[in-house]
């Protein structure tokens, strides 16, 4: 039995082999072809998945997200420079979205005192973030 082998370079070679060995080689080739076909069905192009930009972010989105994360990291770092009471006031105003009046009632001070504290906090953060 003759087995034909094609090298990567394109050179073709024929080899005379025993019938039993030739049958095994042909069987192995058929199994390899079947495996290749199975694997090819499971793969697809990522370009085909990107429908109107819904699946993958564009380069602009990625850059914007990186800038946003850098800004947030700088802000968190600046927040560390505030005193614990100042951080607590920022949490109440921005994260709990409470009014100056409700915070003032809770602390037993005037609303203007809370407003003045927030002004000092803003100035401190601006100075740090410049």
Contact indicator for 90, 82 with CB cutoff of 8 Å? yes
Residue identified by tokens 């800038």 is 67
Please give the backbone phi and psi of residue 123, each rounded to the nearest 5 degrees, phi first: -60, -40
Mean pLDDT of the chain: 82
Q: Which tens digits make up the pLDDT trace of 62-109?
A: 788 888 889 888 888 888 889 999 999 999 998 899 999 999 999 999
Separation of alpha carbons 86 and 93, rounded Å: 11
Contact indicator for 89, 103 with CB cutoff of 8 Å? yes
Strand partners, 76: none
What pTM was estimated for this model as a whole?
0.50
Share of the chain above pLDDT 90, in %: 28
Distances (CA, A) of 28 to 7, 18, 40, 72, 109: 17, 15, 18, 58, 86
Report residue 60 as tokens. Answer: 């602009």
Separation of alpha carbons 37 and 50, rounded Å: 25
* DSSP classification of residue 68: H
């Amino acid at each position: 039995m003759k087995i034909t082998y094609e090298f990567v370079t394109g050179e073709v070679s024929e080899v005379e082999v025993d019938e039993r060995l030739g049958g095994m080689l042909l069987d192995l080739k058929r199994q390899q072809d079947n495996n290749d076909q199975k694997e090819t069905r499971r793969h697809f192009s990522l370009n085909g998945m990107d429908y109107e930009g819904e699946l993958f972010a564009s380069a602009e989105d990625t850059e914007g997200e990186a800038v946003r994360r850098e800004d947030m990291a700088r802000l968190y770092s600046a927040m560390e420079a505030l005193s614990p009471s100042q951080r607590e006031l920022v949490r109440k105003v921005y994260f709990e979205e409470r009014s100056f009046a409700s915070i003032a009632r809770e602390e037993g001070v005037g609303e203007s005192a809370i407003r003045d504290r927030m002004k000092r906090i803003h100035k401190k953060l601006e100075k740090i973030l410049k």
